[in-house]
Amino acid sequence: MTNEKKNLRLYIVGAAFALVTMGLWGRLVQLQVFDHAYYTSLATKQSVVKRAVPPVRGCIFDRSGRPLALSVHSCSVAIQPKYIKNREKVAAALSKYLSVSKKSVREKFQSEKPFIWVKRRCPLSKDAQARLKALPGVVVQPEADRVYPHGGTAAKIVGFVGIDNKGMAGIEAALDEELRGTPGWEEVQRDGEYRSHGYQTYAQKKPVNGKHVFLTIDARLQEIAEMELDRAVETAGARGGVVLLMYCKTGEILAMAECPSPRSRESGSRADSLWTVRSVSCVYEPGSTFKLVTAAALLETGKVRSSDVFDAEKGTADMNVAVIHDAHPYEMLTFEEGFVQSSNIVLAKAAMRLGREEFTDAIRSFGFGTPTGIELHGESAGQVPQKWSKRTQITLAFGQEVAVTPLQLANAFAAIANDGVLMMPRVVRAVADESSGANEQTKPVELRKVVSEQTARQLKEYLRAVVVEGTGVAAGLEFLEVAGKTGTGQKSTRRGGYQPGKFVASFVGFAPVSDPKVVCLVLLDEPNYANRFGGVAAGPAFARIMEAIASSSHIFDDVLRKPAENEEVARQRFVAPNFLRMSRDSAMERARMYDLNLLCKGDGGEVIAQDPDPGVAMDRDDVLRVYLSGSSGRVEGRETPDLKGLAVRAARRCAAEAGFKCEVVGSGLVVSQWPGPGVVSRGGLIRIQCQNPTSRQKAG
């Protein structure tokens, strides 16, 4: 081979090598310079993941700070099937730590989806989390779970959240934006098996946690309302019912109980129509409780006086366009007597003195026909007739041809109790931002003056007489002056007319008459025929609720502290004042004021029981014993007494003698207690549930 050929080969090889080298360098320049941004983005996308960091949902509390809804830490576990190396090992681990079957896990392995949830919001120990995270293809994601410490208490008002922590009902839905918070994010490096545990976090934005919501609801009064409503529904054989408690002067809802009510927030029951808050969304014809509005319109316009006499026509009156009936055959009645005895005929005849616009304006002034503005979804405006028939003015007088919600009716009575001032009902007391410290208080909203103070005073006397001598005698209490009105409404059909034998029994009242504090509405839907009258079915339930409020809260303390007004007893003996919930110094000062011999048992705190009870006759020379709550140091190592079968005050005394304080739910006799008898309690508190023995026998 000549040298020229050898050199040619060398040139060719060198040229080829140079071309390859130049091509490699060119490709390298392309990757490092021209396509640098693209491949950097691709590498980042494969090795760094940006994931959301959920905020902690705000809590919901009652008016005293008792937690009704809380967020707790939990975990959700998912799998990525294509990254799982040992499926049997993963199935066994998931079955062990998540309490799921291996079969269900294996079925998820067959899915073509890249990411599959195995179990959401489950409690896992740190050890279990570490072991699951170490398995390729298993994702453990921290989340916040929603818990409800009071269970089904106030369930409809509080509501519930969905699987993604979004409010679905009640306050959880109505104030979801405030409770939810703002999610954050973080960028985390992950390995080739898409695991990020133990690797660096590049960037992050912290989430903003949700705000806390404080309700106007009192959890203890809510429990009382729910328990007494269940008892009343069972006793009357009713289909369901409602109990509403609200402050007269502020419009704050203290309790909103409904029956039937959901007892579970499990996913299977969340679509149930029982979650509808019927107190604000469902309407009914109120019957005789609406006579308050009729009387208010007549008295305010001066179209009638209390002493005006009407012929009740022995219980049946032909008024040309309609025949009106009364439950009892009355003859001549004054307007006040007609109201007290709930005469449809008297109210119908009196209402004919009103003009159509006057009557309609009065009805709408009380808030009927418009939503109240309460912070709950689905509120109904009710229905006020726009087209009047010849009989409309007559039947409106006693609560027919008008549709109202229970909340609207309770608020109308609250306006009379509040000297004629109508307030906006509310269930939210405050919204607190934990991060900024801001606390947004919800202030009472005065809507308008519906009647003058003079008219309101007249109506209070009417309502007091209903309880003293009229149709609401069963709602009366010896220790508290009560006012109210009974109602027996017929249930209408969709096509017009009324369903035979179907009634709505109700009682709406307030106490005390001299300085009204609380309005209470009790409504029973479709009670049996014997219990169709509001005074028979709803009145006793109202009385039990008021009695329970007096024994388990501070609301009526100012009234109960006044000695009972009994002139005959007062001349002979002295009546024990009320020392309950007073401090030791205040009790001693009151005893000196009444010149009483007071014996204090306990080391301090407030008076939790006394003997004799308030209002009980006693000689001035007798010793009055009071038991103070500040004896918690004596409780440790002592057994709880047996309180079953005792009356509330006797139970308080017995518990106080043993160094315990009682938390009371209900009224009547003690049927259960926690802790039970003979249990050592370090907390110094015994929770007792009481029930009226006569009601229990009827219900059984």
pLDDT 10s digits, 238-296: 999 999 999 999 999 999 999 988 866 765 555 567 789 999 999 999 999 999 999 99
Q: What is the 3-state secondary structure (H, E, C) of 679-696?
A: CECCCCEEEEEEECHHHH
Domain 566-699 fold: Trypsin Inhibitor V; Chain A (3.30.10)
Q: Which of 90-94, 183-187, 524-528, 579-583 has the lowest mean pLDDT?
A: 579-583
Dist CA 399 CA 406 (whole Å): 13
Residue 252 is predicted with a pLDDT of 97
Give me the numbers of helices (H) and strands (E) for the chain, helices first please. 24, 31
Average pLDDT over every residue of 566-570: 43
Ranges 10-24, 142-156, 497-511, 588-602, most confident? 497-511
Assess whether pLDDT exceeds 80 at residue 406: yes
* Residue 458: how many other CB atoms lie within 10 Å: 20
pLDDT 10s digits, 19-77: 888 888 888 888 788 877 887 777 766 667 777 778 889 999 999 899 999 988 788 89
Mean pLDDT (the chain, rounded)? 84
Residue 697 is predicted with a pLDDT of 35
Q: CA neighbours within 13 Å on the CB side: how many for 208?
A: 9
Residue 569 is predicted with a pLDDT of 41
What residue segments make up the domains of the chain, in order of their start?
3-49, 50-215, 219-557, 566-699
Omega prior to 612 cis, within 30 of 0 = yes
Provide the CATH number for the domain formed by 219-557 in this structure.
Answer: 3.40.710.10
Residue 374 is predicted with a pLDDT of 95
The kind and range of the H/E element at 259 are strand 253-259
What's the one-letter identity of residue 3? N
In the chain, % of residues over pLDDT 70: 88
Residue 342 is predicted with a pLDDT of 92
239 or 590, higher pLDDT: 239
Residue 268 is predicted with a pLDDT of 52
Average pLDDT over every residue of 659-676: 78
Average pLDDT over every residue of 672-684: 76
- The SS3 assignment for 214 reads strand
Residue 699 is predicted with a pLDDT of 32
Q: Which of 138-152, 156-170, 538-552, 598-612 has the lowest mean pLDDT?
A: 598-612
| 630 exposure class (CB count in 10 Å sphere: 0-12, 13-18, 19+) | middle
Q: Which of 15-24, 361-370, 538-547 has the lowest mean pLDDT?
A: 15-24
Assess whether pLDDT exceeds 80 at residue 668: no
Q: Are 452 and 461 in contact (CB under 8 A)?
A: no
Dist CA 628 CA 608 (whole Å): 6
Assess whether pLDDT exceeds 90 at residue 453: yes
What's the one-letter identity of residue 64? S
Assess whether pLDDT exceeds 90 at residue 372: yes
170 confidence band (pLDDT: 50, 70, 90): very high
Dist CA 170 CA 334 (whole Å): 46
Q: Do 219-557 and 50-215 fall under one CATH topology?
A: no
The class that CATH gives domain 50-215 is alpha beta
Question: pTM to 2 decimals?
Answer: 0.75
pLDDT 10s digits, 106-127: 888 888 888 888 888 788 888 8
